Amino acid sequence: MKTNYPIERFVESIDDYSEIPEKISEGIKITVEDFEDRFNTFDDAQASQKPQPDKWSRKEILGHLIDSAANNHQRFVRAQYLKEIVVPSYEQKEWVHVQQYINRPWSELLALWKTYNFHLAYIISHMEAEHLKNMCIIGSGAPVTVGFVAADYLGHMQHHIKQIEKM
C-alpha cells in the first residue's frame, strides 16, 4: 500500500498491519517533538507572515494541522468499533478562515497541536491491527483502510512541516 506522502523513516512497509500502530505512533511523537524543539520560540510576527496574500502563514499551516488532527481523531476512534466509517470531507480553506489561526499566539497553537497529536499517538498505539483494515470513506473519495489513513496522516504532517521550514 502506498500513501500520498513519503513516511519511510518510520514505516518501511505498511503491508504488515501488526507493526503499523506502534510505528505510526512513534513517528507522530518524534515528528512533533522535533518540530517543537526547533520552533517553540518562534517569533509571533514571523509566524503570521504570509509568503503571498493568497497563501497561508506558518500559523495557518499549523492551524491546518490542528484541523487535520481533529478530523482524523474521529476516524481513528470510530474505526475501532465500526467496520466501515463514512465521514464528511474537510473543507480546509473554510476551517482555517473561520478559526482565525493567524490571530492566535504561536505558542498556543503549538501547544494545542502537540497535545492533540500526543493523544492521537496514544489512540493509534493501542489500536488493534485488525481495526486498521476497516474501511474509511471520506467525502466522495474512494474507500481506504484506516491503516492507510493513519500512515497518510503522518506523511501529511511531515509535508506541511517542510512547508513551514522553507518559509
Q: Which tens digit of pLDDT belongs to each residue from 55-106?
A: 999 999 999 999 999 999 999 999 999 999 999 999 999 999 999 999 999 9
Report the CATH number at residue 106: 1.20.120.450
Domain membership of residue 6 (yes or no) is no
Give pLDDT tens digits for 18-61. Answer: 778 988 999 999 999 999 999 998 899 999 999 999 999 999 99
Count CB-CB contacts under 10 A for residue 64.
21
Inter-residue contact 62 to 117 (CB < 8 Å): no
Listed in sequence order, the residues at least 6 apart from 15 whose beta carbon sits closer than 8 Å to its beta carbon are 1
Domain around 59: 23-166
* Domains in the chain, number: 1
DSSP label of 14: S
**Residue 138 β-bridge partners:** 87
**Residue 154: DSSP 8-state:** H
CA 69 to chain centre: 5
Residue 99 lies in a domain: yes
Q: Is residue 7 part of a domain?
A: no
User: What are 3-20's pLDDT values in tens digits?
Assistant: 455 555 555 555 666 778
Backbone dihedral angles phi then psi of residue 87, each to the nearest 5 degrees? -130, 155
Task: Please state, in angstroms and rounded to a whole number, the distance separating the CA atoms of residues 113 and 110.
Answer: 5
Distance CA 92, CA 100 (A): 12
